């Protein structure tokens, strides 16, 4: 079968790319190995309001489980910062339904979606040849371009010798029915005993809650062990989590470093496959979605010009996503390096200074968590904050 573009991966990045390509009238096929779009879920579904608006996603109300107006952050020793205002900052979205919504949008523009079909290998000669295995057995599909939207362990990246971000966080999350937190505040917990080199979280989701941890440093214990420890032993969180019944378990990995390379001749990487995630929070749907729109447009340009070279794709895709979100992703990656190099005591000192300097006011003012550079520029005007940070990181890397 011949297509203009084949996309491996039916997650948000692949589906948003597909919609862009199909909207321009080109033949696009999304290959998804699972039998259902959106399943298994590996996400909390927390998306910024500004990001959803930027992507032009008018979500139907039943997709939205909660509206988040603030964040509460706990230091390793329990110091607390709350940043809250009446403004709607983020939505907690039912990710399974969200992905299906994106799939519907892409399909209505003409994209074909092949479920239960796994991409097994590829070759490039006068086009891209993709070997797939699906319900009807093995077949070869051909296209002018291939988009790797196949997530954090991207095979498309591996097949093309593209290095993907080296730092990966392993995450585990459960959905439970009874937690004692406000219904519009996301809670974040730092501390190496519970979530080394990442954080733990509790998120309200309508009439249920999500409780999770990410683990950025492997020490033989997996994220589920860390999650159990967080739920049972964290001095603050354990008193809030009252459920004994688990309604859902999500396990996954998150790339938390700046993307290395995202194009080759006839090949583009997008979303987690490329590393388009925020290295601070691990959120990747909005930033991956922004890159996906650019990837879709780049595919259209390449098809119009019949130019599929790495140079063309670098100009039309890699440079453009870097212009749009590259600096912000770099700031996220530098902040991740900062937090990873701080001990629990260091983080407590940072919290102390942040509380005294009323950083929560700035968090309220600069609430776009996808694009933290303005917030960071403001806190770098505070000498005491810089004093703490510069012991761990070249402050220039945050500018
Ligand atoms: C526990 C957890 C919580 C998270 N919470 C949030 C959050 O609140 N907000 C947020 O923005 N982000 C969050 N993230 C990150 C977010 O889930 C990812 O950034 C996002 O899913 C990336 O989208 P994607 O389309 O790039 O990749 P994915 O969603 O991973 O989709 C890739 C798809 O490719 C398919 N695939 C892979 N290989 C093949 C193959 N060979 N053939 C066919 N199909 C293939 C997979 O089945 C998958 O469906 C979270 C991640 C985890 C693990």
pLDDT tens digits along 132-182: 999 889 999 999 999 999 999 999 999 999 988 889 999 999 999 999 999
What pLDDT score does 228 carry? 96
Q: Is 342 exposed, middle or buried (0-12, 13-18, 19+ CB in 10 A)?
A: buried
Which residue among 214, 235, 255 closes a domain?
255
- Residues with Cβ within 8 Å of residue 244, at least 6 apart in sequence: none
Which residue among 296, 327, 358 closes a domain?
327
- Residues with Cβ within 8 Å of residue 20, at least 6 apart in sequence: 292, 293, 295, 296, 297, 299, 300
Q: Is 66 in the pocket of ligand 1 (CB under 6 A)?
A: no
For residue 151, the CA-to-ligand 1 centroid distance in Å is: 5
pTM above 0.95, yes or no: yes
Same domain, 10 and 116: yes
CB 333 within 8 A of CB 282: no
Q: How far is CA 39 from CA 183, 249, 276, in A?
A: 26, 12, 21
What pLDDT score does 257 carry? 93
Q: Which stretch of DSSP H or E encloses residue 5?
A: strand 2-8
For residue 46, the CA-to-ligand 1 centroid distance in Å is: 13
Q: Is 57 in the pocket of ligand 1 (CB under 6 A)?
A: no
Tokens of residue 4, six digits: 């203009």
Cα angle vertex 239, ends 233, 243, to 5°? Answer: 95
Same domain, 226 and 103: no
Q: How many domains does the chain have?
A: 3
Q: Is 90 in the pocket of ligand 1 (CB under 6 A)?
A: no
Q: What is the number of the ligand 1 atom nearest to the C-alpha of 203?
A: 8
CA proximity to 348, closest of 79, 53, 27: 79
Residue 190 domain boundaries: 69-88+167-255
What pLDDT score does 166 carry? 85
Q: Is 42 in the pocket of ligand 1 (CB under 6 A)?
A: yes
Q: How far is CA 72 from CA 8, 78, 80, 226, 271, in A?
A: 38, 11, 7, 21, 28
Same domain, 103 and 13: yes
Q: Is 26 in the pocket of ligand 1 (CB under 6 A)?
A: no
| Terminal CA-CA length for the chain | 48
- Taking the CA of residue 392 as centre, how many other CA atoms within 13 Å lie in the half-sphere pointing to its CB? 19
Answer whether residue 51 is part of any domain.
Answer: no
The mean pLDDT value of the chain amounts to: 96
CB 186 within 8 A of CB 81: no
For residue 7, the CA-to-ligand 1 centroid distance in Å is: 14
Same domain, 217 and 130: no
Same domain, 316 and 360: no
Answer whether residue 49 is part of any domain.
Answer: no
Which residue among 226, 255, 284 closes a domain?
255
Task: Report d(CA 15, CA 293) in Å as an integer.
Answer: 10
DSSP calls for 152-171 = TT-HHHHHTTPPPPS-EEEE
What pLDDT score does 164 carry? 87
Task: Report d(CA 311, CA 354) in Å as an integer.
Answer: 45
Q: Is 43 in the pocket of ligand 1 (CB under 6 A)?
A: yes
Same domain, 323 and 185: no
DSSP calls for 294-319 = HHHHHHHHHHHHT---HHHHIIIIIH
What pLDDT score does 243 carry? 75
pLDDT in tens, the chain (399 residues): 799 999 999 999 999 999 999 999 999 999 999 999 999 999 999 999 999 999 999 899 999 999 999 999 999 999 999 999 999 999 999 999 999 999 999 999 999 999 999 999 999 999 999 999 998 899 999 999 999 999 999 999 999 999 888 899 999 999 999 999 999 999 999 999 999 999 999 999 999 999 999 999 878 899 999 999 999 999 999 999 987 789 999 999 999 999 989 999 999 999 999 999 999 999 999 999 999 999 999 999 999 999 999 999 999 999 999 999 999 999 999 999 999 999 999 999 999 999 999 999 999 999 888 999 999 999 999 999 999 999 998 888 888
Task: Report d(CA 130, CA 124) in Å as an integer.
Answer: 9
Task: Report d(CA 346, CA 343) in Å as an integer.
Answer: 5
Residues in the chain: 399
Task: Report d(CA 128, CA 144) in Å as an integer.
Answer: 6
Task: Report d(CA 7, CA 102) in Å as an integer.
Answer: 14
Task: Report d(CA 244, CA 231) in Å as an integer.
Answer: 10
Q: Is 68 in the pocket of ligand 1 (CB under 6 A)?
A: no
DSSP calls for 105-174 = HHHHTT-EEE-S-EEEEEEESSSEEEEEEETTEEEEEEEEEEEE---TT-HHHHHTTPPPPS-EEEEEEE
| Among 6, 11, 169, residue to substitute to test ligand 1 (most atoms within 8 Å of Cβ) | 11
What pLDDT score does 136 carry? 84
Q: Is 165 in the pocket of ligand 1 (CB under 6 A)?
A: no
What pLDDT score does 367 carry? 85
Q: Is 283 in the pocket of ligand 1 (CB under 6 A)?
A: yes
Backbone phi, psi, residue 289, to 5°: -65, -40
Q: Is 154 in the pocket of ligand 1 (CB under 6 A)?
A: no
Beta bridge partners of 121: 131
Same domain, 271 and 123: yes
| Among 151, 174, 175, 216, residue to substitute to test ligand 1 (most atoms within 8 Å of Cβ) | 151
The CATH number given to whatever domain includes residue 270 is 3.50.50.60
Same domain, 161 and 179: no
Task: Report d(CA 292, CA 324) in Å as an integer.
Answer: 12
Q: Is 329 in the pocket of ligand 1 (CB under 6 A)?
A: no
What pLDDT score does 321 carry? 98
Q: Which residue has the CA at smallest separation from atom 22 of ligand 1? A: 272
What pLDDT score does 239 carry? 96
């Amino acid at each position: 079968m011949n297509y203009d573009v084949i996309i491996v991966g039916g997650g948000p990045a692949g589906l948003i790319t597909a919609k862009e390509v199909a909207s321009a009238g080109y033949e696009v096929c999304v290959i998804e190995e699972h039998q259902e779009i959106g399943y298994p879920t590996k996400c909390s579904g927390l998306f910024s309001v500004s990001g959803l608006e930027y992507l032009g996603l008018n979500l139907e109300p039943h997709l939205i489980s909660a509206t988040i107006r603030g964040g509460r952050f706990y230091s390793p020793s329990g110091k607390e910062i709350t940043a809250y205002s009446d403004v709607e900052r983020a939505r907690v979205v039912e990710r399974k339904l969200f992905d299906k919504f994106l799939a519907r949008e892409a399909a209505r523009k003409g994209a074909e979606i092949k479920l239960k079909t796994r991409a097994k290998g590829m070759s490039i000669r006068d086009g891209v040849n993709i070997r797939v295995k699906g319900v009807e057995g093995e077949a070869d599909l051909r296209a002018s371009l291939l988009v790797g939207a196949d997530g954090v362990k991207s095979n498309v990246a591996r097949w093309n010798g593209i290095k993907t971000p080296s730092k990966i966080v392993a995450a585990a999350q459960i959905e439970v029915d009874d937690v004692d937190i406000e219904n519009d505040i996301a809670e974040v917990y730092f501390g190496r005993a519970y979530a080394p080199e990442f954080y733990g979280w509790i998120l309200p989701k309508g009439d249920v809650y999500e409780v999770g941890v990410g683990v950025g440093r492997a020490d033989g214990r997996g994220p589920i062990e860390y999650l159990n420890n967080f739920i049972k032993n964290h001095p603050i969180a354990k008193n809030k989590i009252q459920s004994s019944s688990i309604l859902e378990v999500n396990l996954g990995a998150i790339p938390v470093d700046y993307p290395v390379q995202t194009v080759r001749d006839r090949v583009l990487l997008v979303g987690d496959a490329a590393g388009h995630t925020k290295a601070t929070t691990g959120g990747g749907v909005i930033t991956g979605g922004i890159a996906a729109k650019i990837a879709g447009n780049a595919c259209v340009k390449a098809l119009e010009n019949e130019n599929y070279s790495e140079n063309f794709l670098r100009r039309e895709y890699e440079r453009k996503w870097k212009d749009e979100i590259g600096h912000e992703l770099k700031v996220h990656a530098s902040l991740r390096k900062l937090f990873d190099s701080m001990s629990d005591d260091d983080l407590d000192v940072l919290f102390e200074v942040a509380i005294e300097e009323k950083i929560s006011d700035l968090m309220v003012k600069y609430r776009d968590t996808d694009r933290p550079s303005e917030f960071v520029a403001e806190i770098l005007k505070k000498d005491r904050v810089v004093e703490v940070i510069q012991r761990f990181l070249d402050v220039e890397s945050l500018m």
